[in-house]
């Protein structure tokens, strides 16, 4: 003997089946990248790849890839005038470098046209696991802070070292002024205020 199904229960089941068939609850979808947008980062098997990753991180305003390009022992030596003017450089470390970059990204995130041009590049072998890049730079960050320059320039020296894992990273950075133009040190100081 078959028991009758109450009308309200039967209509509820029909409505639920129609709802589920209209939604693609059980359909497959493309998996999401667990790290989100990783931009143009490539594993830094060579010193040149660190340089390319840093240029791409600036152009893409990618804080993760910028951070991934820095050594755990990262140090920064600002220009002489910035160091004399700004106390923030007395204890600059990787943490302050990440904070400055994140603040700058937040101020520029809705704009485009960011770039890091490295000119007159010289990459010199110091040892089997250490290279130095010497170059002039022009950094353009189209941010929304009127009191801060959008374009800075100077000369940099980057010491690139190979870690125990075989990967390369930026470990030491020396910034130098070119004439009276604002430098990268000036930009870093402004975005840590």
**CATH no. for residue 83?**
3.10.450.50
Report the largest interatomic distance among the alpha carbons of the chain, rounded to a whole angstrom. 98
Residue 15 lies in a domain: no
Give the range of the structural domain holding residue 127, as residue numbers without chain letter: 47-190
Residue 26 lies in a domain: no
Predicted local distance difference test score (pLDDT) of residue 6: 54
Q: Which residue has the tokens 């497959």?
A: 28
Predicted local distance difference test score (pLDDT) of residue 8: 54
CA 46, 48, 51, 52 dihedral sign is negative
Residue 114 lies in a domain: yes
Ranges under pLDDT 50 in the chain: 13, 16-21, 23-29, 31-36
Phi, psi dihedrals of residue 124, rounded to the nearest 5°: -115, 135
Predicted local distance difference test score (pLDDT) of residue 27: 46
Residue 22 lies in a domain: no
Q: Is 51 exposed, middle or buried (0-12, 13-18, 19+ CB in 10 A)?
A: buried
Q: List the structure tokens of 145.
A: 């802070």
Give pTM, 2 decimals: 0.80
Q: Which residue has the tokens 């980062």?
A: 41
Taking the C-alpha atoms of residue 111 and residue 148, their distance in angstroms, rounded to an integer, is 15
Predicted local distance difference test score (pLDDT) of residue 7: 57
**C-alpha triplet 92, 96, 102: angle, nearest 5°:** 150
Residue 31 lies in a domain: no
Q: List the structure tokens of 88.
A: 């923030």
Residue 9 lies in a domain: no
Residue 41 lies in a domain: no
Taking the C-alpha atoms of residue 152 and residue 187, their distance in angstroms, rounded to an integer, is 7
Residue 58 lies in a domain: yes
Please state the domain count of the chain.
Answer: 1
Task: Give every CB contact of residue 183 below 8 A, 6+ residues apart in sequence.
Answer: 78, 79, 82, 152, 153, 154, 175, 176, 177
Predicted local distance difference test score (pLDDT) of residue 110: 86
């Amino acid at each position: 003997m078959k028991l009758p199904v109450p009308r309200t229960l039967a209509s509820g089941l029909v409505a639920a089946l129609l709802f589920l068939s209209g939604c693609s609850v059980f359909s497959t979808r493309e998996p999401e990248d667990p790290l989100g947008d990783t931009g143009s980062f490539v594993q830094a098997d060579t010193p040149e790849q660190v340089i390319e990753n840093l240029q791409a991180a600036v152009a893409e305003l990618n804080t993760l890839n910028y951070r991934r390009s820095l050594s755990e022992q990262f140090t920064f030596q600002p220009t002489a005038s910035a160091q004399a003017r700004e106390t923030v450089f007395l204890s600059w470390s990787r943490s302050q470098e990440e904070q400055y970059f994140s603040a700058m990204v937040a101020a520029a995130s809705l704009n485009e046209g960011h770039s890091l041009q490295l000119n007159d590049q010289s990459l010199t072998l110091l040892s089997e696991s250490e290279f130095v890049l010497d170059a002039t730079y022009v950094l353009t960050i189209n941010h929304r802070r009127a009191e801060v320059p959008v374009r800075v320039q100077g000369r940099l020296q980057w010491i690139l070292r190979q870690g125990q894992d075989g990967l390369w990273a930026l470990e030491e950075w020396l910034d130098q002024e070119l004439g009276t133009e604002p430098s990268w040190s000036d930009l870093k100081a402004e975005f840590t205020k």
